[in-house]
Structure 1
């Protein structure tokens, strides 16, 4: 067993876990001051809930044991893995303990669920959010993770691809979809669910362009910095070994968001006359989203080109909610869904070896499109059904008067900023 790679995976897992508090700061700074606790609590609630579900049964759904050479069916549960008791000891010949991989993938599940919450900022009940997170993770994220990542244990104790999106399409088309670290399973998945919830909950009171401004841009910058820092574990760690591919993923995770940050600022300057700190943070995140599926399959030059495209396209895409009339509070759709689609489809043209410019074939683009839109449709439909059912039963949205006043004190009994203790 390689202790170096084991340490690498565990450190990467810790970095990815840090991304969820980073997301809490990023989202928390974007909402109004009287909703910051509510916004951040949705991320921390996801950490608690999904962390427990992952150990109990999430891993058993996402990564059931796969016989060598087989393709995993779209919906499977390995009952021997419930509670992770069967994974306490590593199989003979394994490169690292199975629990190291379990821990790494747990952090992916946590942040994917937390990402969805940005679409319903300022107006969602915490309890209803937690019920949604429980159901969506169980019905949507855990199966989709199996479709994309499923490194089921092979007969020799190693982890082998088995999901239909990767191995399954490879058997049919000759190449499988490339998703190195979660462009489909994380970003398209969460972005599609965010769009569904935005439609279910409806618009915030007074929704229009310029009506809701970030209350704390320094929080947004801090959150973006923590996200970028953790994303090195997210992307490079997905190689599951400290090797050359991990190094490529690392440098691409530096180059693409750097380029996207610059591109977003240029678009802002041209469109609005001023580059903003929130724009810089959003551009960096857009670049991180786009490079996630592609970080191990692009040269650094093409990673920069992808970053420039992501920064410019996502800066324009966030305006769609005003034209189309849906209130995606914190632009989860414009950044994560659009950025995830862009990065996933971009591989069809520029993936090393199999992309159009290298192979002269559209096959890679075809399988990338099938993977992207299969996850998008599956997540959107089920998230809409789950959210609609919650709204029509116990209610998902707070009262309008509570939304206007700020929901921190109503939902959590706390204030984000106590400048003077009135009880004194």
Structure 2
């Protein structure tokens, strides 16, 4: 049993579609029962979003969101049908299924659904008949029978969920990069490809800004023991294995994560939120409830103590979530005579490694290196796997490059020295 996922760039042209079909045909003829999950072709989702906005889909009402999801789902449907047709032309039996046809049940609101369960009866039926089953990513059906999309990057989550439901041991993620790197190679030319990354570390990387995998997909893979193979669809080179390190890559885990910093990430989609109210009203529970109700994750959290004369609470959220939760926060805090201030001119840079909480010298070294370059840092957070600071948005790339060099992540000496 093998599950493969192809991103939009892998299907963006007829030539790339043919190349993907040829790769799948080779796998199928090798005897593997193959399920393929696809994204919309490159640029299709953005085009559909623009069309939705022009038609009035920019409203925030439930009915607007529902119809927008109905439209966005067609991008993946087109990809799946085109790939199935190409496979049929190559003499490979194939069938395309929408998320609903594939039995993917989703809960949550339109645009940010969560996979709840998958009835694999129909997928298994096609596999037993020897057909490659091409499933649309990014979507499923709710209990009302409506199509609900999973949000940006949701096709990764779809692929891992299908792999978990079919009890597949691995899921291959094909994209336009050939693996997971020590930093974004578009900004850091000497970034090093990592042959193996532990799943828990990859989850931190994804949350902290690494775009190669969606955070929820990594978490789901770790939960169900699905090993991820990240590689390019444009070549045959080896990529990166993301897993628990119990079999292949187990020895590599100690080499890559033995107390050292493994990667540096940056995230431009960040806003700092400061909640302030006079008096001893404790608004923390109310603030957290608002964020939870809107499914908005927070990071770098601090708050005032119970005996102080005023309430203060600071945290970071995604800048793209401010318009969603901002009005609710303003309304809740105004009742107590307080205010909410949002600073969107920031970014987050993070060190990813193992044992960072027990090694405070890493955070000290990170902040010292940034200060020496005149890059102001503000809020700091540290855990065993990640240390993050906020920096001015226009210094993000500079900070990323500086820290990659500071911690010697380009490869020189990394494989020869293991910090114990």
Q: TM-score range by the shorter chain?
A: under 0.3
TM-score by length of 1: 0.27
Larger radius of gyration: 2
Larger helix share, 1 or 2: 1
Larger strand share, 1 or 2: 2
Kindly indicate whether structure 1 or structure 2 has the higher relative contact order, using CA contacts under 8 Å at least 6 residues apart: 1
TM-score by length of 2: 0.27
